Amino acid sequence: MEKYDVVILGGGNAGMGVTVATRAAGLSVAIIEPHDLGGTCPNRGCTPKKVLVAAAHALDEIGKADRHAIIVDKPRLDWAALIEREKAIIREIPSRLSGLMARRGVDVISGEATFIGSNAIRVNDRELEAKNIVIATGSKPRPLPIPGAHLLTISDDILNDPVLPRAVVFVGGGVIAFELGHVYARAGVDVTIIEALPQLLAGFDEDAVGQLRGESERLGIGIHTKAWVKRIDEANGRLRVSFTKDGIERLVEADRVVNCAGRVANVEGIDLGAGVIVHREGRIEIDDCLRSRSNPDVYVCGDTVWNSPQLSPIATYEGAIVGRNIVDGPKHRPNYTHIPASLYTVPTLAGVGLTEAKAREQGLRVKAHVNDMKDWLSAKTYAETIAWSKIIVEENTGRVVGAHVVGHAGEELIHIFALAMKHGITASQLSDMVYCFPTFSADIKNMM
Ligand SMILES: Cc1cc2nc3c(=O)[nH]c(=O)nc-3n(C[C@H](O)[C@H](O)[C@H](O)COP(=O)(O)OP(=O)(O)OC[C@H]3O[C@@H](n4cnc5c(N)ncnc54)[C@H](O)[C@@H]3O)c2cc1C
Ligand SMILES: NC(=O)c1ccc[n+]([C@@H]2O[C@H](COP(=O)([O-])OP(=O)(O)OC[C@H]3O[C@@H](n4cnc5c(N)ncnc54)[C@H](O)[C@@H]3O)[C@@H](O)[C@H]2O)c1
């Protein structure tokens, strides 16, 4: 059996994050990856998705040209060329990462790993033994147990599909449905989102989501909440989705039906039992240091962790923590409190910290400063169709405990709030700052 100090299953953000501290400490490290290094984020997630979102932004700007007294013809989007552009932008990433791993002194093994013991792994015909094993195998779409589920596509397919469909149904009203739905809607596709729960985009502030829902409907996206998809059938070369809402059965036809009902840990094929790793339906039981409760030599990070947000910077962050725990012993714990998140719709929805509901649930005495900023000079200058913020400030301390922005460069502004929250900068100190003018950031002074 070949021996390593550390064997990592999965070469995504999380897995590669583990290699920094472990290699700096001189440990021998192997990373096992069956597909492209980089995993989901650069190859079939954040980066290719953002290329499509950037095109949607351009279409939005062109659509507003007349507000700047510019006369333009109706734009024509070459979807196949856009998908080519997306692929060209990400093409080099796996080989660049392979170079990085080589320079760092990590052995990259191509193949699918399975546990064959508490400290042992099989990959192809090789058997590896390690003091520490890290599970960083990411996530996959939650299987939907409905008749016709085999007709569903997933986000990977959309990002590779050179044919622009006429109509698309997204099952699930979460982040992927909204981001890809906005891209498609801007490209002229008929978009429907079907969400089982009463609320969309769980985790974001409800009022902010309400603003985005209004804007999405204005774009022509059909949204159904409290709606249950019953089945999917083929009908005359198209797909027919049957769902119930308010007790009434409804039908919608589309060319693609996309499973956006959340993602679950990708651990089915790795034989957790052989690794003595206790889990409940793929949810691995871990302690505060991201270590398996039943096998202390095994760590988990990234999307495979069942109870932390499935975001690429969080995967990297957790990977780095696991690396440090392997080197220093299990004493580093992740803290997710001040990590911002952005939904890349057009306009974006960005948030950090507590939602208003969560702040009140925790019994904090807070003031929620809600601003419709559409009439503010900066929003008017850029002809924003939506510009909205809610800043939640604790009354007795002046601490910002949550910030939520729709439009208005929120995906950039949110970092100023995150930094303030992390380092205890109060709302009045944020207002005292001298900002460049005129900028969206300068509006922070008037947001609370
Ligand atoms: C469409 C889409 C858009 C997204 N957009 C964003 C965004 O804008 N911002 C953001 O922060 N997050 C975004 N995310 C989420 C983000 O991509 C993930 O949170 C992140 O990539 C998770 O990293 P990871 O390393 O945990 O998993 P992954 O990157 O999925 O890596 C896991 C790796 O494990 C490998 N693997 C699987 N099984 C085995 C095995 N048996 N042995 C060895 N290796 C194995 C896989 O091949 C894979 O490469 C998006 C996700 C999707 C699907
Ligand atoms: N901008 C970003 O940071 C970004 C972008 C894309 C994806 N991601 C990550 O990818 C993960 C997966 O995204 P997602 O959009 O698939 O999941 P999600 O968790 O955001 O949303 C899934 C939605 O589907 C609903 N749902 C579940 N079962 C259903 C059913 N049978 N019928 C109808 N609705 C159903 C859920 O109630 C939920 O609202 C997210 O957790 C997110 O962290 C992040």
- Give the mean model confidence (pLDDT) for residues 112-141: 98
3-state DSSP call for residue 310? coil
- Residue-wise DSSP of 135-152: E---EEEPP--STTGGG-
pLDDT band at 350 (very low <50, low <70, confident <90, very high): very high
| Shortest-distance atom of ligand 1 to CA 309 | 19
Which ligand has the shortest distance to the CA of 197? Answer: 2
Residues with beta carbon inside 6 Å of ligand 2?
144, 171-177, 179, 194-197, 202, 229, 260-263, 309-311, 341-344
Which ligand has the shortest distance to the CA of 314? Answer: 1
Cα-to-centroid distance, 383 and ligand 1 (Å):
36
* pLDDT on residue 386: 97
Q: By alpha-carbon position, which residue is closest to atom 12 of ligand 2?
A: 262
- Give the mean model confidence (pLDDT) for residues 419-441: 97
**Helix pair 175-186, 46-63: axis angle to 10 deg:** 40
pLDDT band at 330 (very low <50, low <70, confident <90, very high): very high
Residue 406, classified by CB atoms within 10 Å of its CB into exposed (0-12), middle (13-18) or buried (19+), is buried
Which ligand has the shortest distance to the CA of 156? Answer: 1
Number of neighbouring beta carbons within 10 Å of residue 289: 17
Q: Ligand 1 pocket: which of 139, 155, 301, 312 to mutate (most atoms <8 Å of CB)?
A: 312
Which ligand has the shortest distance to the CA of 12? Answer: 1
pLDDT band at 87 (very low <50, low <70, confident <90, very high): very high
CATH code for residues 2-139+264-328: 3.50.50.60
Fold match between domain 149-261 and domain 341-446: no
Which amino acid appears at position 285 of this protein? E
Strand 238-245's sheet: what is its strand order?
Answer: 227-235, 238-245, 248-254
Q: Ligand 1 pocket: which of 32, 33, 40 to mutate (most atoms <8 Å of CB)?
A: 40
Which amino acid appears at position 406 of this protein? V
DSSP, res 153 = B
Q: Give the whole-angstrom CA distance, residue 86 versus residue 80.
A: 10
| Shortest-distance atom of ligand 1 to CA 137 | 34
Q: Give the whole-angstrom CA distance, residue 362 versus residue 374.
A: 31
pLDDT band at 238 (very low <50, low <70, confident <90, very high): very high
Strands 2-9 and 341-343 come out as unpaired
- Give the mean model confidence (pLDDT) for residues 285-313: 98
Q: What is the pTM of this model?
A: 0.97
Q: Give the whole-angstrom CA distance, residue 404 versus residue 356.
A: 10
What is the torsion angle, in degrees rounded to the nearest 10, for the CA atoms of residue 232, residue 238, residue 244 and residue 249? -120
Q: Domain 341-446: give its CATH architecture.
A: 2-Layer Sandwich (3.30)
- Give the mean model confidence (pLDDT) for residues 441-447: 97
Q: By alpha-carbon position, which residue is closest to atom 48 of ligand 1?
A: 39
pLDDT band at 70 (very low <50, low <70, confident <90, very high): very high
Would you list the domain boundaries of the chain?
A: 2-139+264-328, 149-261, 341-446
3-state DSSP call for residue 434? coil
Assigned CATH topology for domain 149-261: FAD/NAD(P)-binding domain (3.50.50)
| Shortest-distance atom of ligand 2 to CA 176 | 15
Q: Ligand 2 pocket: which of 260, 306, 348, 414 to mutate (most atoms <8 Å of CB)?
A: 260
Residues with beta carbon inside 6 Å of ligand 1?
9-15, 32-35, 39-41, 45-46, 49, 112-113, 136-138, 155, 176, 266, 269-270, 302-303, 310-313, 315, 344
Partners of 33 in beta bridges = 110
Q: Ligand 2 pocket: which of 155, 176, 250, 342 to mutate (most atoms <8 Å of CB)?
A: 176
Q: By alpha-carbon position, which residue is closest to atom 44 of ligand 1?
A: 10
